[in-house]
Amino acid sequence: MAERTLYTFGPRPTRGVLLGLGGMQLAGLVAGGVTGLVLMMGKTNLLVAMCPLVAGALYAWAPVAGRPIHEWAGPVISHWSRRAQGHSTWAASGDDATPPPFAGLSVVAAGNPEHPTAVIVSSGRGRPTYTAVLAVNGGDFAMIDAGDQERRLAAWGEALAGAGAPGLGVTRVQWVERSGPERSDAASAWAARHRRVPAASPAAKSYWELLRQTRPATRRHDTYVAIQVAPRQCDPAKGDGDPGLAEVVAAVELVAGRINSAELRTSGALGPSEVGEVLHGLIDPDYARAMAGRRHLRAAGPPLPWPAATETPWGAYRTNGTWHATYWLSELPRRSVGAAWMSPLLLSRVDGVRSLSVLMEPLSPSAAARRAERDVLENDADAVQRERFGFARTARRERERGQAAAREEELVSGYALMRFVGLVSVAAPDQEALVVACREVEQAAGQACVELTRLYGRQDVAFAASLPLCAGVAPVPWGM
């Protein structure tokens, strides 16, 4: 029997500027200490002078809902600032038809006029980027044996490494797996098309009865891969005459070929209407209605089905009549796992729509080497500081040091490095259903040994990042 391959994920880095303390923690402690010192020099009562120092210590270390207060400061200030300015709600108007998280996005048809490729152009900030979306089918991955799963994972890794090769221009790769209610007749229709025995046979009758009993629990799984390219020469103002579109189409075709060679199946990039349907299906929890026809999509130009009204309360994001909640995969399994370690999360049944998104950003060999060397040096310096001040060594910090050293060794051996961030988004028709769906996805994450952190205060940006648009979440740290 062949020996199984196990996969190990290191802990999320927690080292800080000094003795494991981050910049925000040090700022709170210094501000409290300086304020207390000033009060003491002014001959203030000692107890009163100690209050700022205590407040600084609470700010740095005191947990609220499982997270230190300093981690809540940014989201709280940002959220209430937007509410005070009236920016937490939005409604489409003649001059403003795009919600704030999607501002600066447009779609252009490129390539073959008969089978055009939808290129989503982001020209809001900085250098323009171009994104195309592929529909990918992984086949029967959950049903094959562990050895075949490991082989496919290795092939997927080779495809990713090729996509991030210097000179190709690919700046980000994102895969999104979506699970939602299937049409009630979908399984029966598929069985009728592929039936090889007479309909009146006992086998066929037994199968039809099984489909009838399982119809309420039928789920549909779709997977998409988004490829973002930053062309060397581009001009979004020229529309379909943009010189960068040809470079984008060529890069996407090359990546699609690599994906097909990794035992995955894709028929190429989606067209404008297909991209509109995909986005609509991710925004709308009623999958059957979303995929029923294009009458739900805007008819003016290539469709991008942005909602007509949005609201961003503290812990959710409402688009029209749909409520969304988005989580960050803040911790991956801390023990060795097999190739199908994410199955409990991917195959769990969640009321409503659940999507899992992983956004990856390839680093150039020089940038990856600098990053790896910096991580090793910072971990060593942190260990020296902690030993000097008498702090005990912890297993987590020792594992972080080992992870940084192993990453540097892999780079020396020629492996590519990508930084990544994972997001899980849940959609439901109302707040009560959203609470149930969130509870179910949190339980499924626990079974997969991953930790989810709900992105309070920035749900609109987080939801936009969970869509196959290759948009990042600025306040969320990237993993390695």
| Whole-number pLDDT of residue 480 | 40
Q: What is the pLDDT of residue 278?
A: 86
392-396: list long-range contacts, CB under 8 Å, 24+ apart. 396/11, 396/14
Domain final position from 48, 66, 87:
87
Mean pLDDT value of segment 18-29: 69
Give 309's strand partners: 91
With residue 398 as reference, give the H or E element that holds it.
helix 395-412
| 125 located within any domain | yes
In-domain check, residue 240: yes
Torsion sign across C-alpha atoms 460, 418, 441, 467 = positive
Mark whether 173 and 295 lie in a shared domain: yes
H helical segments located in 42-145: 46-61, 69-84
The Cα 384–Cα 401 span in angstroms is 12
Give CA separation, 269 vs 67, 115, 164, 265, 389, in Å: 41, 9, 18, 12, 57
Q: Are residues 262 and 349 in the same domain?
A: yes
84 or 65: whose pLDDT is higher?
A: 84
Both 81 and 222 in one domain: the answer is no
Of the listed ranges 200-214, 251-265, 323-337, the least confidently predicted one is: 200-214
The number of C-alpha atoms within 13 Å of 97 and in the hemisphere containing its C-beta is 9
Domain-ending residue, one of 59, 87, 115: 87
* Contact of 33 with 56, CB cutoff 8 Å: yes
Nearest partner of 424 among 333, 348, 354, judged by Cα: 354
Give the separation between CA 153 and CA 147, rounded to whole angstroms: 10
- Domain membership of residue 265 (yes or no) is yes
- How many C-beta neighbours within 10 Å does residue 248 have? 29
The Cα–Cα gap between 400 and 413 comes to 20
**DSSP H helical ranges for 237-364:** 244-261, 272-283, 287-290, 343-346
Separation CA 442–CA 432 (nearest Å) = 16
* Token pair listed for 399: 């594992």
Extract the tokens encoding 75: 């989201």
Tell whether 479 is covered by a domain: no
Asked if 401 and 300 sit in the same domain, the reply is: yes
- Min mean pLDDT across 177-186, 313-322, 352-361, 426-435 is at 177-186
Q: For the chain, what is the mean pLDDT?
A: 79
Whether residue 98 sits in one domain with residue 55: no
Q: How much of the chain, in percent, has pLDDT values that exceed 90? A: 17
pLDDT confidence band for 374 (50 / 70 / 90) = confident
Predicted confidence at residue 299, as pLDDT, reads: 33
Q: What is the phi/psi pair of residue 346, to 5°? A: -75, -35
pLDDT in tens, 437-447: 999 999 999 99
| Helix, strand, or coil (residue 445) | helix
* Residue pointed to by tokens 């990794």: 262
φ and ψ at 413, to 5 degrees? -80, 0
Count structural domains, the chain. 2
CB 260 within 8 Å of CB 252: no
| 54 pLDDT above the threshold of 60 | yes
- Distance separating alpha carbons of residues 311 and 313, to the nearest angstrom: 6
Instruction: Tell me the residue ranges of DSSP E strands in 156-197.
Output: 170-181
Model confidence at 470: pLDDT above 60: yes
**Cα–Cα dist 440/408, whole Å:** 38
Range of the domain at 44: 10-87
Domain match, 331 and 230 both: yes
Q: Do residues 19 and 98 both lie within one domain? A: no
* Residue position matching structure tokens 């009865």: 209
Confidence class for position 21, pLDDT limits 50, 70, 90:
low
Q: Which of 87, 120, 142 is the last residue of a domain?
A: 87
Q: Which positions ≥6 away from 432 have C-beta within 8 Å? A: none
- Specify whether 27 is located in the same domain as 101: no
- Give the whole-angstrom CA distance, residue 296 versus residue 292: 9
354 and 336 share one domain: yes
